[in-house]
Amino acid sequence: MNKNGLYVNNSLKAWSGTLTEFTSTNPLYLLGDPNASNRYTYAKLFYMKIYNNDTLVRDLIPAKNASGVIGMYDAVSGTFFTNAGTGTFVAGPEI
């Protein structure tokens, strides 16, 4: 995501048409709907990058920590994020 554009494999998929600055105190839900108790998302996620204008602020990579917990590693901050929602992450093959 960068400047109101959603890119998949470096190809623009959605554009709002208007650049707007905003700040939010709400969390970003990746592949989930916090208000839906009976919906599930099945997807293969290879990475997700989030930009603030042209500055990379999150570079999320699926990872497994030393304890075997599956989550997303942020290569920008060095932070490992675990699943904060319901359900579990399922690991694919190690690469």
Q: Six-digit token pair at 35?
A: 């208000």
Q: In this predicted model, what pLDDT tens digit does every residue of 5-49 receive, in sequence order?
A: 777 787 877 766 665 666 777 776 666 666 666 566 667 788 888
Alpha carbon distance 67, 40 (integer Å):
26
Q: Six-digit token pair at 83?
A: 């699943």
pTM greater than 0.85 (yes/no): no
Q: Lowest mean pLDDT: which of 48-57, 67-76, 84-93?
A: 84-93
